[in-house]
Structure 1
Amino acid sequence: MPDQSVPAVPSIPAVPPTPPVPLSALLAREDLALRLIAGPPDTGTVIHWAHTSEMADPYPYLLGGELLLTAGVHIPDAAGSGTYFDDYVSRIVAAGGAALGFGVAPVHDTVPRALVAACDSYELPLVEVPPRTTFSAVARAVWQLMAQARHAELRRVSEAQQSLATAASRPDPVPAVLRQLAQRVGGWAVLYGPEGAELATAGRKPGDTARTALNELAGVVRPGPTSPGPVAPTGPATPTGVGTGTRAGTDRTAPPATGCPVPLPPVAATTRPAPSLSPSPSPSPSSASDTLAGTHLAAYALGPGQGFVLGVAAPRRDPGDHTIVSVAAVLLSLLTGEHHSGAGAARSSALVRLLLGAAPEAVAPLLGGERWVVVHARPDTHAPDAVAASALGTALGSPLVDLAQDVVRVLVPADRETTPQPGWTFGVSAPSDPREWALADTQAARALARARATRTPLVHHAARPALADLVPAEDAVSHARTLLAPVAGTPALTETLRTWLSLHGSWDRTAVALSVHRNTVRQRVARCAALLAADLDDPDVRMELWFALRQHQPARQDR
């Protein structure tokens, strides 16, 4: 069976970043009566927040993207005849300020003409704030508009996630996911194969230059020995994926971005660590982004060792787009994982043969081994889902995963060492051949119960020779059947007694292992003692019952 590792797809943000506020939306608020009096008339300026400052040099206190509000307290009397306003505006622009709001009254009756001229010269939007409008009202309006935009973006992202999940369940999942992705970002989506060929595309294709640049990005992030290594950023690094911000993240020492000329300059690539279950062995970045002539480009590696890459070219880069593309990348990584090797076809063949009556030992070679262990795993904090179960199977080196309620079962070749994984509790059976898989499943379940009760990350089924090996199996089973007959018809009693004895009569740990209340454990054990007419405090009785329970195999139930 080929070695596998967790797909190094970009992590999905819990929520998209808060969208900025268009300056035009703030100017449209009639209750504020703001007026644009200088700077470009319609530049698509956006604001990330509002900040009030009366400092003569606000540069050290700005993060970028602000609407800087001032009443002009800092302006000296002779400012109009010198370079004060030119220096003041240049520092705001250098700090990445988005716009300047000047409050008329009580300090100044009108906006100084020299300030208007300086803002026109540096193309910084200048907004006149009338006397009746407080700076607090302007800041509140900014936050209100941001909340509205965030709500709309969250709704858009939620709808996109649902549509992508639906597309992944279609008969043609890969083209369907690409179509939905292209529609949601308003651009073009492409799946590159390990050799760099375009396997599937959807949406409106960009120009040849943009397609060439996107192919270059795909080569940067594609894992494997033939792909380029990490690219060191030479300028201000853009955030990974399509979720790029605006002027707020600009390097103050770098010239403003004007698009990428051809040939493509070095790409600002961001490395993302793989999930903790199995770190990626590839040093290449898992995603990278760039902008070319107004087209936003992003490439996502879908997993180390696979070689598949998702490329996206879009005319805009909205805050929620990175979340949407990340979801699509995760879905495509799962869909393409089966195509990278013949493991999926071999498993399908084994399943068909089993359904048609073949013995398990006859199909085991198709699955990659002759002796196996069964692993029962349970997350420490929450119920497992399909993605977590698949990632766990990958970390353990086996795609043979079963997710049932709160337990994940994995069939692992015995020659692969099962090691603890952060956030999981494991119970591992003894190595067995396919004819003993049902017994191994029971062993793993008991080992998991003991691991949870003792708060141990991993417990192996004990397989060393014991006293029971000296007794013929038929005699041992007959003895167990006779001794346990009074309680054998109630699986809850036998399993409670088995767990209680294995934990040395601890009520609390037995309750944890069985996920029941400790009073329920007491009642069941007392019932067993009554039905068996046995003194469970007697160590000889406990030993004999434990021996019998070891031979007693209850009817297997679907988990």
Structure 2
Amino acid sequence: MRDLVGDPELGLTPYGVPEGTQGPISWVHTSELADPTPFLEGGELLLTTGLTLGGSAWEEYVERLVGAGVAGLGFGVDVSHSGMPPELVEAASRQGLPLLAVPRRTPFIAISKAVSRALAADEYEDLRRTSRAQHELAGAAVGRRGLSGVVHKLASLLDGWALLLDEADTVLHSAPGGAGISVRELEPWLRRLRQGRGRGALVLELGEQWIGIQELGTRGGATLVVGRDSPFGTPDHHVINSAASLVTLALRQAETLWSARGRLHTAFLRTLLSGAPAWAALDDLGAEFPAWPVRVLVLHGSHSAEESLRLIEAESDGEEVYAAEYEGDVVALAPASANLPDRLGKRRDVRLGVSEPCGQDGLPTALRQARQAVAAASDGGGAVWFTELAGRGLLELLPAERAVGFAESLLWPLRGRDELLVSLRGWLAHNGQWDPAAKRLGLHRHTLRNRIRRTESLLGRDLDQAGVRAELWLALQLLDDAG
């Protein structure tokens, strides 16, 4: 509106509310109807000569236009009325409707063309801004800072702030360092968005801030959040969508690379445990491996295998660690002097078994040791070192052949009944406590009770006797060590 008034070629004169001349115009419409509102959408500059209006009708006419949300009224003077009708000026001033006097020399079509040119220029500028922003975001995506660079560039382009959250609503990247809102304030909206299906988006006003939330459709459930103290326009939404697409692509590429890396690690560990030469392949892949001797770590807990592998990477603190998923376990090989077991052992959500140091030839034995140790770990988390297991010193004093023969004879009735052996080992590792053992084995406690009673019947031994339990525990460890 201000631009129209400032155009000397049009010669428009504002009446009533000059400050209203700063409002935006969506289009120009001409009508001589007493009630043109059924043909309006809001935001238009309406042009009229007042052919069918006069006297007290102006009050209702202006009221209808204000109710329809028109941007302003342009009145052609000296056509149907001599000069500007005072009743119209009073009504427009009273109801806050921007009013422009259009001189007889200015055809209405000239105003329409002027607005059309201005709207086209605005659209072109929006396209230029969007294109420039997309180019800058793409440059940030391939830059040294990666995802962090994209988030910072997005915040700069929007003149606001931006957050990238993972599926647990943990902040992965933020710009600037302290965003304009806490994640806790966003929790209801994040929860609502994730209850839907597929990729979704929300725009909301919280306090004095306008906030956009967009799911990224990645397997990890990442979310992009942006905010500022003014509403987002169409170009802003284009910029946000472009950033979301770049971040989604980067995260999916990272997921693919992580998955491929995990499969390679698993394959190499399997080859290494089989005794086959595999170091040349590792060198060809450019992979790094800790120097011998190493300790084998086995992790159990509530995390998925992928989450556990990422946890190991996060806790490695620069130490050379080789981690992989192997036969249902998450296994890590760390230097014998590494502090990784101590750091992981402090977590209550992880049970950890740690082997004795070993060389390459001793890797299978070290893996068995770590598995035995983690089986003895409590549900409250923490690390169990194989050297701490009760009975270790006694086993080393027994003659190997006679001890293994005794163990095989004792457990012979359970041969081929792997589910009974696994249940017995887990139950003994938890000192005969039903609930912790059942939880660790992933069984219902009644199922575990039935298996232990079946084992008791096959062995012909009373498992309520401490001496019998000790014999069976020693026998199971002897057979594990014997391979």
- The alignment's TM-score, normalised by the length of structure 1, stands at 0.45
Are 1:62 and 2:40 matched, yes or no?
Answer: yes
Note the residue ranges of structure 2 that are not aligned, 5 or more in a row: 270-277, 286-483
Q: Residue 307 of structure 1: CA displacement?
A: 1.8
What percent of counterpart residues are identical? Answer: 32
Are 1:320 and 2:235 matched, yes or no?
Answer: yes
Question: Following the alignment from structure 2 to structure 1, what is the Cα–Cα distance between the partners of residues 17 and 61?
Answer: 15
Partner residue in 2 for 1:196: 169
Match of 1:47, SS? coil
Question: Following the alignment from structure 1 to structure 2, what is the Cα–Cα distance between the partners of residues 53 and 139?
Answer: 13
Match of 1:36 among 14, 32, 37: 14
Partner residue in 2 for 1:289: 203
Q: Which amino acid aligns with 2:203?
A: S
Q: Equivalences for 1:506-545 in 2 at 5 Å?
A: none
Match of 1:184 among 154, 157, 162: 157
Are 1:74 and 2:52 matched, yes or no?
Answer: yes
Contact 1:214 1:311 in 2 (8 A): no
Q: Equivalences for 1:476-495 in 2 at 5 Å?
A: none
Match of 1:310, SS? strand
Q: Which amino acid aligns with 2:47?
A: L
Question: Following the alignment from structure 2 to structure 1, what is the Cα–Cα distance between the partners of residues 131 and 267?
Answer: 36
Q: Which amino acid aligns with 1:41?
A: E
Are 1:303 and 2:217 matched, yes or no?
Answer: yes
Question: Following the alignment from structure 2 to structure 1, what is the Cα–Cα distance between the partners of residues 38 and 94?
Answer: 22
Match of 2:72 among 60, 75, 99: 99
Which 4+ residue blocks in structure 1 deviate beyond 6 angstroms?
A: 350-353
Are 1:119 and 2:98 matched, yes or no?
Answer: no
Partner residue in 1 for 2:463: none
Question: Following the alignment from structure 1 to structure 2, what is the Cα–Cα distance between the partners of residues 52 and 296?
Answer: 36
**Greater relative contact order, per chain length (Cα 8 Å cut-off, separation 6+):** 1
CA 1:344–1:92: 2 relative to 1, 3 Å: farther
CA 1:199–1:161: 2 relative to 1, 3 Å: same
Deviations 1:74-131 (A, max 9, x none): 204xx2xx3x222211211222211111111211122222212222222221111111
After superposing the two structures, state which structure 1 stretch, 26-35 or 200-209, moved more: 200-209
Q: Residue 220 of structure 1: CA displacement?
A: 2.8
Match of 2:136 among 141, 163, 182: 163
CA 1:134–1:347: 2 relative to 1, 3 Å: farther
Q: Which amino acid aligns with 2:237?
A: H
Partner residue in 1 for 2:406: none
Match of 1:189, SS? strand
Q: Which amino acid aligns with 1:346?
A: G
Partner residue in 2 for 1:219: 191
Question: Following the alignment from structure 2 to structure 1, what is the Cα–Cα distance between the partners of residues 203 and 118?
Answer: 28
Question: Following the alignment from structure 2 to structure 1, what is the Cα–Cα distance between the partners of residues 133 and 89?
Answer: 44
Partner residue in 1 for 2:298: none
Are 1:147 and 2:120 matched, yes or no?
Answer: yes
Are 1:48 and 2:26 matched, yes or no?
Answer: yes
CA 1:200–1:66: 2 relative to 1, 3 Å: same
Q: Which amino acid aligns with 1:217?
A: W
Question: Following the alignment from structure 1 to structure 2, what is the Cα–Cα distance between the partners of residues 29 and 214?
Answer: 46
CA 1:39–1:154: 2 relative to 1, 3 Å: same
Question: Following the alignment from structure 1 to structure 2, what is the Cα–Cα distance between the partners of residues 321 and 347?
Answer: 41
Deviations 1:406-462 (A, max 9, x none): xxxxxxxxxxxxxxxxxxxxxxxxxxxxxxxxxxxxxxxxxxxxxxxxxxxxxxxxx
CA 1:219–1:152: 2 relative to 1, 3 Å: same
Partner residue in 2 for 1:16: none
CA 1:57–1:42: 2 relative to 1, 3 Å: closer
Q: Equivalences for 1:117-516 in 2 at 5 Å?
A: 117-203=90-176, 207-208=180-181, 214=186, 216-221=188-193, 223=194, 229=195, 282=197, 286-293=200-207, 295-303=209-217, 305-314=219-228, 315-338=230-253, 342-346=258-262, 358=281
Partner residue in 1 for 2:60: 87
Question: Following the alignment from structure 1 to structure 2, what is the Cα–Cα distance between the partners of residues 96 and 178?
Answer: 37
Match of 1:109 among 76, 82, 88: 82
Match of 2:2 among 8, 24, 45: 24
Aligned length: 274
Contact 1:214 1:297 in 2 (8 A): no
Match of 2:214, SS? strand
CA RMSD between the two structures: 3.1
Question: Following the alignment from structure 2 to structure 1, what is the Cα–Cα distance between the partners of residues 47 and 263?
Answer: 66
CA 1:299–1:135: 2 relative to 1, 3 Å: same
Q: Residue 146 of structure 1: CA displacement?
A: 1.0
Match of 2:156, SS? helix
Question: Following the alignment from structure 2 to structure 1, what is the Cα–Cα distance between the partners of residues 179 and 24?
Answer: 26
CA 1:348–1:44: 2 relative to 1, 3 Å: farther
Q: Which amino acid aligns with 1:335?
A: A
Deviations 1:302-356 (A, max 9, x none): 0164321111113342321111110100111122235568415326759999x98
